[in-house]
Amino acid sequence: MIKIMIVEDDPMVLDINQKFISKLNYCDVVATASSLAEARSLIQATHIDLVLLDVFLPDGKGIDYLKWLRREEFDTDVLLITADKSAKSVEDAFRYGAVDYLVKPFKFERLQEVLAAYREKWEMTKQRELTQSQIDQINKIQKEGIVEDDDKDDDAINMTYQKIIQCIKDNDSEGITAQEVANCLGVSRVTARRYLEMMETSKVLKLEQVYGGVGRPRNVYQLNKRK
């Protein structure tokens, strides 16, 4: 599970973000903070993989917290979630290694895209060694970023859903993995997984973990049979 801390001083926004993340079965909010001082204290006491960080906080700016994390060499990533649209804040965020920058308000699907891509990189970097193809994939994720669903209309998304359903049926099995969908549609594994997770959230598909042999279980998506 990706361990997340949310740093947000607005209780309503904090609640919304927590509910968003609760829909994702690979993320866990293990800490919340409403100030930079609280965030500094918590991250020294709790292992955090990813911080969802606001820019405007009562005791300073989130960008300064990001810079502090880098100076102190914390092994923690940061995703900026803020109403701050200034070019300077965006530039500083990426200069100091933010994984992405989301402007409030945003759709759940946009956050889901970011976390799906982050998960892809996070899982690979947990290994002791990486192949060149895995390194290239990480580099590709960081360079290309995520395509926002705002650029796609509902008809296009529904068409992709139908293609994935057809892939599952053509696969002639009890389910299908993200890599198999990627091969079927001719897209990246990150994109395939994003659609699969959206379809699971909307109850079109269900996710099962299949164990077999040595190593981590495989995430297999199946059609959710309606009664």
From its phi and psi, is residue 35 left (phi > 0), alpha (psi between -120 and 50) or beta?
Answer: beta
Is position 136 within any domain?
no
Lowest mean pLDDT, pick from 29-33, 114-118, 127-131, 191-195: 127-131
Helix (H) or strand (E) holding 39: helix 36-45
Task: Look at residue 29 and tell me whether its pLDDT is greater than 90.
Answer: yes
Of 215 and 8, which is predicted with more confidence? 8
In 3D, which of 7, 192, 16, 25 has the Cα closest to residue 106? Answer: 16
Task: Look at residue 139 and tell me whether its pLDDT is greater than 70.
Answer: no
Predicted confidence at residue 51, as pLDDT, reads: 97
Is position 139 within any domain?
no
Tokens representing 61 are 């700016």
Q: Please answer whether residues 9 and 58 qualify as being in contact, where contact means their C-beta atoms are separated by less than 8 angstroms.
A: yes
pLDDT tens-digit map of 164-210: 888 888 876 668 888 888 888 777 676 777 788 878 877 888 888 87
Give me the domain span that covers residue 41: 2-125
Is position 196 within any domain?
yes
Predicted confidence at residue 135, as pLDDT, reads: 65
Predicted confidence at residue 32, as pLDDT, reads: 96
Predicted confidence at residue 222, as pLDDT, reads: 87
Which amino acid, 43? I
Based on the domain organization, do 198 and 113 belong to the same domain? no
Is position 131 within any domain?
no
